[in-house]
Structure 1
Amino acid sequence: MSEEKIKDRPNYYNFTEEINPEQDSESSSNKNMPSMYKLQLKLLLWKQYLVFKRNLKSTLFQILTPLAVCLYLLLIQFTANYVFDNMVTKNPDTIDLWKIPKCYGNDCITLGIGLTNGENEFSDYIIKYISEKHHLKIGKDIKILAKNDPMQLFDYIDKHDNQTQTAVILCTGPFVLPPNRFYNGTFDCLGSSENYTVRMYNIVFNSSSLVSMLISEMNSPMPVNYPAIAVKSALDEALISYQSKDQKIDIKVSTQGYPEPKNRHSNHVSIIKNSGPFYFFIPPIVTFVVVLIELVREKEFHLRSGLSMMGMSHSPYWHSWFITAFIFTIFTSNSVIISGKLCNFDIFLNTPYLILLMMFGFFSISMTCLAFLLSTFLRTTKSAYAASYVFILVGLVFQLLLSDINIIYALWSEEAPDWVAIVRAIFTLYPPFNFSKCFGDIARKASVHYSHWEHKHVPGEYYSWNRFASRNRRIIPSALESLLYLLADSLLLCILAWYFDHVLPSNRGNSDPVYFFLTPKYWGFNKKIQKIQSTVEDTNEEVADSVSFEKRKVIDLEDSSSSIRILGIHKIFQKNLYKTSEDIHAVNNIYLHAKRGELLALLGHNGAGKSTLINMLTGLCKPTSGSAKICGFDIRENMSEIRKVLGVCPQHDILWDELTAKEHLILFGRLKGESYDKVYEEVNERLKEVNLSDEADLLAGTFSGGMKRRLSLAISGIGDPKVIILDEPTTGMDPINRRQAWKFIKKLKEKRIMILTTHSMEEADVLSDRVCVVVDGRLKCIGTSLYLKNQFGDGYRVNIISKEVERVVPIVRIVMPNAKIIDSSGGSLVLGISVKDVKEIGEFVRIMEGEEIGELSVLKDLIEDWGLSHTTLEEVFMIVTGKKTNGIK
């Protein structure tokens, strides 16, 4: 490659440049594992860099969420300060109480009357006066509830809750006091002398109607019963009028509260201290959701499996995502800290930067590890979104409780029952709990807090490292210990994610046994290969010969580094944990062989087992029994070695919408270990061969279905693979691009081993060297296209067009006595000739070419047009699969 071309390359591709770019593909197989690990890790980080760079809105949302949270908290703090600062009333309002407010409602009594010794002139006057002056009806608004015993009034009130607004006991004569410790006996309330007259009354009001202190303003005084004060004013006015011999008296009564100062308990209230764990729970959750959805998206759309098939190891895949999440953690954590300092929050000003970075960083990392774990269970992005929403809702509810550090401290109370210790241990495994505990420890000193010594709120203190590592009350863990718990949670979640990534088949395709970490194989020790079954069960005698021959050929063939040998491979999908008759035998005892320079086409109806066989060969699922060897490597033991020489065009496109066509080819080419210069040169060639040169720098998300298939086809040939497996590569292509793709496939076939699955019989006929038909997981027949047509087809067909078909038929029977009429209608005659009678066609051809053969020569004049054709591969397929018989009518 010339220096000029190298200089013209886009700069962002240099991110994938290897330390030693001169290494070619021949030396790539000699690379040690650490160098391949570094290369793959670098490539995956480059891929994620491009994905997040082009998803700019999502990326900025993650980084700027902390700023939005801090600005929102600042707004709440300003609002709270304004409200508390204005809870000062220098001149309270004056309330006039000269009129008794009327009680409205069913059976509601405005004023209930209780008499000590029956009715008299005094009581009648008082009741009448209040009724007229305050427009209250006697018997409805004013009722006598007790005439001779005041206790009857209280009994009535007890039996009729919230029905009497205010009650008055008027003294109308001597009465016996209820038992009490001050005075017992008869009490005469009508004492009088020459200088004065005693008139006594008692007001009873309903205290439950008063506004509770719990729902009243923080700075308001004890509640006042204004109706009771109005009743007192009315009674005093009526008494004066009675004593002054019916003179009308107007007493104006009003009330005014004391000026209200600022309440010391509401002064310097810190929203950050009280609600910080709730709101700062949000930024790490955003990263958690993004990572979870991206991981599940790559699983759902087979992007991860596509990378694996092309040679990617699982370790760099997970490490690249951890590094990506760690970078976002650094950005979001610093965004929180900087935003908090800019908003002048005391907890951020009084706490060392490193402590804050550790607190927010460790929490974000633990949430990322939780996303890793959840991604191993979820299969679709829809379920990932649902799981994210559920976790956010449940998490926010928990954070409302965990925002109060006193609730958390209560879990360490010495007086708590034993079961609280279990709850505390469970909560310790929940990362937001440890974050809330650490945040609360810091906020209770670094933020404004209430000093029990000074009995007031005091400014926050500097939170030293010594205090960070010190325990509170000796039994409560320190803030440092809470952060260590966060790290322990992260480690535990990563171990669980690693374990379930191995044992759940939806992750790697090949699931390991639950005890995989106890097996020698996992730690690099060899183990015996499972014995291969060697029986062929085929009930179709017509096709058994070719299958049996293929089986003997495969068994007798020695191991070769340039062939594929499929050895009695089985795949059974069990519906239950144990074998039943309902189990699906997707692939059943198949033997196949493909050599270098050969393209083997697999034909079969939907569900025949073609894709399952391909998945086993590419390592996406394990065979139930049997095995296969690709270039001398066993698919059960050496899949990592196989993938170094394997190129795959899967049934589903393994493409990222955010990457261009050129970037896809560079990514997959470099995964093979090829040098960058060689891959870059090969990329342009591959794009030209699939007619995508003009779209090289367009994002794959803008491609049509056919363009994506062409790109996937180009990817399968990148990196100079020795084996290429194509699973329906031309699906969705238009005829022109399909022909172009066929040329590309034929070119790739040179010096390579290729397996092709397709539903297009024309494609199989044009491209394949051999064709095999699979029916219900079984190999039915195998051979060249011509061999299958001769073996299972109808032979040859002669198509004749004539206006005198009745005269033509007798002559044709003389020329081709073994020919059978397949169809005769509308001046068209179709004759079938078996392969063994093919010589009869020769005489017919000589006549049609003008050779004089007696009376038979008239046939040329009777026939307007004619044609000769062989049985199509499609007809062979229909016969072999049982959809059509090969008998000619």
Structure 2
Amino acid sequence: MEQTLLKENSSADLLPLGHWLSRVALKNQRIRPAPQTSRIKDRLDMEPPPSSRGPASFRTQANALLRKNLTFQKRNLKTNFGIVAFPFFLCAVIVIIQQVVNNELNQDRYQCGCQDGVCGLQYSTLDQVATCPIPNPPEWPVLLQIPRPEYRAVRDAGLPTEDSCRSSLSCPAALLFTGGNRSLAQSLGQTLLQGSSSFSSLNSLDYPSNMANFVLGTDTYTRDTQFIEPAFISDRPLYWIQPECPSSATTPLSFQVANRSIQLVIHVYPSHHCGELQCVQGLTLWRDNSSQINDELFRGYREGNSERKENEYIAAYDFLNSNENVFNLSIWYNSTYNNDTGFATIGLTRVPRTVNLATNAYLKFLRGPGVISMFEFVKEMPKSGTELKFDFSSILGGLFFTWIIEMLFPVILTYLVYERQQKLKMMMKMHGLKDGPYWLISYIYFFSLSSLYMLCFVVFGSLIGLKFFRLNDYSIQIVFYLVFINLQIAMAILVSSFFSAVKTATVIGYIYVFGSGLLGEFLFRFFIEDTSFPRAWKIVLELIPGFSLYRGLYEFSQYAFIGNLMGTSGMKWGDLSDSENGLLEVLIIMFVEWLLLLPVAFYLDQILGGEIRKDPLFFLDYFQKKSTLPTRPGFQEKGSKVFIEMDRPDVSHEREVVEQLLQDSNINHAIISDNLRKVYPGRDGNPDKLAVQGLSLAVPNGECFGMLGPNGAGKSTFINMMIGLVKPSSGTAYLHGMDISINMDEIYTSMGVCPQHDLLWETLTGREHLLFYGRLKNLKGPTLLQAVEESLKNVNLFYGGVADKQAGKYSGGMKRRLSVAISLIGDPKVVYMDEPSTGLDPASRNNLWNVVNRAKKDRAIILTTHSMEEAEVLCDRLGIFVDGSFQCIGNPKELKGRYGGSYVFTMTTSANEEEEVEGLVRQLSPNANKIYHISGTQKFELPKQEIRISDVFRAVGIAKSKFTIHAWGLADTTLEDVFIKVAKGAEFNMLS
């Protein structure tokens, strides 16, 4: 039979008297309260505790962070290799494509030479002629661009409707005209299309001079056919435009060739135009003014749908104020037929014949119908022999290189968001890292990484022979890349403030990269090439960094492509003055954006970036001195009720101690919480939540104060206010005389934190973590190495190679021990530990308790825990925290003596002997309370004032002779019993 007995605490009955005497002694001290303003001044003048090292300097913190970043980068070699390999891969793909195309272009069918044993330009195919020299380009008849039959417009009374003539493809081709002098304009308009009346005479005419007597036209679209008029290699017929067509409107087309160069067409396309030449009726239609013409042209063109079809005219003329002495003319023509895609020669423009019609009409008006200005032919400028060259780095560079350069954006963004998501940035800040070193080193780190990345990209592209890099001036490229990567870093810092999850940031980052590249290639590029697109809108689009990058790469690509094609150099500094070159405005836009985004990014980081956030108007603190008047203690509000603290003398006593300490300018306590209060605003119709109710607490050096309380009691809110994560609604706190409301940055230099969840870099080892945080606490050289070694030994992470193992491979208990070691490295004066032993095995937990017990000798520790055993072992004083306020404060023995005034008596017998057990207990203590009963086992609470331990032993000995006792025990009240009793009592009081 097992018997359990806890020694009776004989001093328990004296505790209330001792407590009362201490309160009386405090009240009898004649202390004159200092004015509030004087108290505040004293607080602001207080200096942090002396330290042989002092806080880490800017340089020391920057060095610590740089070392950590380099180590972190070294552990991510696979990721870094993948990032660097991406541009190499794309450049290699371009080289492979270039080689395949070059091999194809080197084949004989693309070389200027001979065909079927006959040599000469006239026997070359279109594929060959692109490289052939053309010293004497062919002479082509001057053609007029006319609409196709199915699109021609008819806008004159007495003529067939459009629907009827379009179905038969017999609609006339119309010209519109107007002028200030109507009689003159009508006279000119009637002679615009006059020509030879002999339709059959075309068959015997020599080409091309005699054909100038006729107005010939085509509805073939212009395109690049290597100096060949596309109308002569098209399946579309040629048209002879007459005021009235003869009955025979179709005739075979055959004519003598006076210029041998026309054999090029006959040889290559022998089947074309052995067919017909069609006559089409030309109309000249008068309109009252140019506004009518403009409106009609606008309303008719390309409005094709089920109700209105396309309506097109040959051209329109406004003779303005023309007379016998002045010839003044405006011409409308359809420029969309000029298929200009940006390459060298895009067919022959057919506008000259339109102008020639008007000049001939004016000459006939002045000199008579026999006078004519002969327009015999048009021809291209001669060209020399060339070599087919297609530089795919220039053709594809705008898209591919945009992706390559922007690939660093999601990398930087992910890195920043990772530190925020894992709360690593918050952890570093709470261990003394200031914003200045953090952002300086982070920026230098990202800039160095980006610069090295771009250097490898440019060098590799140049070595493999990409013209994009070799032809353009390297100095311009370097300036452009440097400006952009600075802008990209600033943009990543700014955008990171809006993300809290790495996966979301990564997805959005890569969508931006590929989206900006595709939109740039397939949308923005057309805006750049369209000369009619407003320049102001181009600048607006270039405000988006992705489009700015694309525009710069596009300019490099164009200069490299033309330089490679013409055998010249690419872009030089002098080219920036070219009005068509948009690189200069892009450089200015990116530089200005960088200067603007950096301060905005810093501001957003302060108010949005993570757990430690500042007020949106925090910058005003630099211009005015902030002071906080603590609220007067004595009561807390909750709704409309007021709770007087007289029923909690230990809590009132603690408040009085705080008041006394605040009146003394020489504060020697490590932690003083002065009426700290936090209210969370209600949302969605819910009332405000009072999380912490005017908490006052004083913790001296060398004391470990434990906070016990149920979940949701407000412990975490109190800790978060003390470490700067949450701003108090009222009141304040002081750590070694420094106010948490205005001196938090200085407090962080002497504070250690062991958070509830382990905040560690997965790829850094335990030793590297401690080295980093030790440097933040200004440890250097041998002192740093010794402190790290001792910390690893204290938490049992030194032996067996565990110290040099990456933290991501640690077990949960090992991570917990490392977090405790981090909180104690550098000799912090104040340490907060949130459930430090969670997940530890019994041996490791006991070892950790020894570490904490040794550490608290020269510092103040506030510890939260749910382990009553841990609280008794570690804590000098305890506070049970319920519903935002302390219900009691004292050391474990005091609390058990004050709230545990009973013994717990347990006895196990057979079920039919339970009444005898209850009778025995009633004899010992009439006021005994049964608290447990199951299967013969009963548990009772016996008031200590009613029994003596010797009487219990004597009674049990007598009972053994009367019935069978399987087991029994007598125990003193545990701390767990005290906690449950206080918590339930507080909950009952709140409900009542």
Show CA shifts across 1:263-293 (max 9, x none). 9889333333333232221233222111100
Question: Could you say what secondary structure the match of 1:26 adopts?
Answer: coil
Show CA shifts across 1:237-269 (max 9, x none). xxxxxxxxxxxxxxxxx997479xx99889333
Quote the offset at 1:515 in angstroms. Answer: 2.6
Aligned to 2:299: none
Aligned sequence identity (%)? 31
1:280 and 2:380 correspond: no
Aligned to 1:348: 469
Q: Is the 8 A contact 2:476 2:572 kept in 1?
A: no
Quick one: which amino acid aligns to residue 303 of structure 1? L
Quote the offset at 1:327 in angstroms. Answer: 1.0
Quick one: which amino acid aligns to residue 522 of structure 1? Y
Return 5+ residue gaps in structure 2 as ranges: 1-48, 117-158, 170-192, 201-217, 238-265, 272-342, 347-386, 637-641
Quote the offset at 1:763 in angstroms. Answer: 2.0
Aligned to 1:460: 568
Question: Could you say what secondary structure the match of 1:571 adopts?
Answer: strand
Aligned to 1:396: 517
Aligned to 1:722: 829
Question: Could you say what secondary structure the match of 2:622 adopts?
Answer: coil
Aligned-partner Cα distance in 1 for 2:96–2:570: 25
| Alignment map for 1:638-677 (pairs within 5 Å) | 638-677=743-782
1:841 and 2:949 correspond: yes
Aligned-partner Cα distance in 1 for 2:605–2:727: 15
Quote the offset at 1:400 in angstroms. Answer: 0.7
Quick one: which amino acid aligns to residue 53 of structure 2? S
Aligned-partner Cα distance in 2 for 1:796–1:583: 42
Q: Is the 8 A contact 1:600 1:754 kept in 2?
A: yes
Change (3 A) 1:217 1:533: farther
Aligned-partner Cα distance in 2 for 1:814–1:631: 57
Show CA shifts across 1:595-617 (max 9, x none). 22221111222222212211111
2:613 to 511, 522, 526: 511
Aligned to 1:623: 728
Change (3 A) 1:674 1:227: closer
Q: Is the 8 A contact 1:647 1:715 kept in 2?
A: yes
Aligned-partner Cα distance in 1 for 2:443–2:703: 43
Question: Could you say what secondary structure the match of 1:383 adopts?
Answer: helix
Tell me whether 624-633 or 733-742 shows the greater mean CA deviation.
Answer: 733-742
Quote the offset at 1:37 in angstroms. Answer: 1.0
1:527 to 604, 610, 626: 626
Change (3 A) 1:496 1:263: closer
Q: Is the 8 A contact 1:792 1:886 kept in 2?
A: no
Q: Is the 8 A contact 1:401 1:407 kept in 2?
A: no
Aligned-partner Cα distance in 1 for 2:729–2:115: 89
1:548 to 642, 649, 652: 652
Quote the offset at 1:779 in angstroms. Answer: 2.5
Q: Is the 8 A contact 2:766 2:807 kept in 1?
A: yes
Change (3 A) 1:370 1:157: same
Aligned-partner Cα distance in 2 for 1:155–1:692: 92
Question: Could you say what secondary structure the match of 2:827 adopts?
Answer: coil
Quote the offset at 1:218 in angstroms. Answer: 13
Aligned-partner Cα distance in 1 for 2:474–2:960: 106
Quick one: which amino acid aligns to residue 367 of structure 1? Q
1:64 and 2:64 correspond: no
Aligned to 2:562: 448
Quote the offset at 1:861 in angstroms. Answer: 8.6
| Alignment map for 1:211-226 (pairs within 5 Å) | none
2:482 to 361, 367, 370: 361
Aligned-partner Cα distance in 2 for 1:617–1:348: 57
Q: Is the 8 A contact 1:603 1:773 kept in 2?
A: yes
Q: Is the 8 A contact 1:447 1:459 kept in 2?
A: no
Aligned-partner Cα distance in 2 for 1:424–1:67: 31
Q: Is the 8 A contact 1:795 1:871 kept in 2?
A: yes
Return 5+ residue gaps in structure 1 as ranges: 1-23, 93-150, 162-179, 189-206, 229-253, 451-456, 851-855
1:742 to 820, 825, 849: 849
Aligned-partner Cα distance in 2 for 1:715–1:348: 50
1:612 to 705, 717, 740: 717
Aligned to 1:868: 970
Aligned-partner Cα distance in 1 for 2:528–2:678: 54
Show CA shifts across 1:344-370 (max 9, x none). 223422334332222222212211111
Quote the offset at 1:184 in angstroms. Answer: 11
Quote the offset at 1:380 in angstroms. Answer: 0.9
Aligned-partner Cα distance in 2 for 1:742–1:787: 22
Q: Is the 8 A contact 2:771 2:788 kept in 1?
A: yes
Change (3 A) 1:637 1:495: same
Tell me whether 73-82 or 360-369 shows the greater mean CA deviation.
Answer: 73-82
1:706 and 2:813 correspond: yes
Q: Is the 8 A contact 2:764 2:807 kept in 1?
A: yes
Q: Is the 8 A contact 1:302 1:652 kept in 2?
A: no
Change (3 A) 1:215 1:360: same
Quick one: which amino acid aligns to residue 402 of structure 2? F
Tell me whether 643-652 or 66-75 shows the greater mean CA deviation.
Answer: 66-75
2:437 to 316, 334, 339: 316
Aligned to 2:131: none
Aligned-partner Cα distance in 1 for 2:920–2:519: 95
Over the residues paired in the alignment, what is the CA RMSD in angstroms?
4.1
How many residue pairs were aligned? 706
Aligned-partner Cα distance in 1 for 2:685–2:651: 28
Question: Could you say what secondary structure the match of 2:405 adopts?
Answer: helix
Q: Is the 8 A contact 1:50 1:659 kept in 2?
A: yes
Question: Could you say what secondary structure the match of 2:759 adopts?
Answer: coil
Tell me whether 767-776 or 668-677 shows the greater mean CA deviation.
Answer: 767-776
Aligned to 2:500: 379
Quote the offset at 1:217 in angstroms. Answer: 13
Q: Is the 8 A contact 2:516 2:547 kept in 1?
A: no
Aligned-partner Cα distance in 1 for 2:397–2:168: 48
Aligned-partner Cα distance in 2 for 1:75–1:617: 62
Tell me whether 634-643 or 826-835 shows the greater mean CA deviation.
Answer: 826-835
Quote the offset at 1:435 in angstroms. Answer: 3.1
Q: Is the 8 A contact 1:847 1:860 kept in 2?
A: no
Aligned to 1:471: 577
Quote the offset at 1:227 in angstroms. Answer: 13
Change (3 A) 1:752 1:218: farther
Quote the offset at 1:864 in angstroms. Answer: 5.6
| Alignment map for 1:170-181 (pairs within 5 Å) | none
Aligned-partner Cα distance in 2 for 1:375–1:218: 56
Q: Is the 8 A contact 1:270 1:448 kept in 2?
A: no
Question: Could you say what secondary structure the match of 1:796 adopts?
Answer: strand
Aligned-partner Cα distance in 2 for 1:220–1:48: 66
Quote the offset at 1:592 in angstroms. Answer: 1.6
Aligned to 2:528: 408
Change (3 A) 1:814 1:182: closer
Aligned-partner Cα distance in 2 for 1:218–1:605: 90
Aligned-partner Cα distance in 1 for 2:941–2:671: 39
| Alignment map for 1:90-239 (pairs within 5 Å) | 159=167
Aligned to 2:605: 501
Quick one: which amino acid aligns to residue 607 of structure 2? V
Aligned to 2:419: 298
Aligned to 1:565: 672
Aligned-partner Cα distance in 1 for 2:494–2:861: 38
Show CA shifts across 1:670-725 (max 9, x none). 11112231221122222222221231010001112221111101111111111111
Aligned-partner Cα distance in 1 for 2:437–2:818: 25
Change (3 A) 1:847 1:25: same
Show CA shifts across 1:770-795 (max 9, x none). 22222232323222223333333462
1:775 and 2:896 correspond: no
1:790 and 2:897 correspond: yes
Aligned-partner Cα distance in 1 for 2:820–2:435: 24
Aligned-partner Cα distance in 2 for 1:544–1:382: 50
Question: Could you say what secondary structure the match of 2:648 adopts?
Answer: helix
Change (3 A) 1:477 1:586: farther
Quick one: which amino acid aligns to residue 655 of structure 1? L
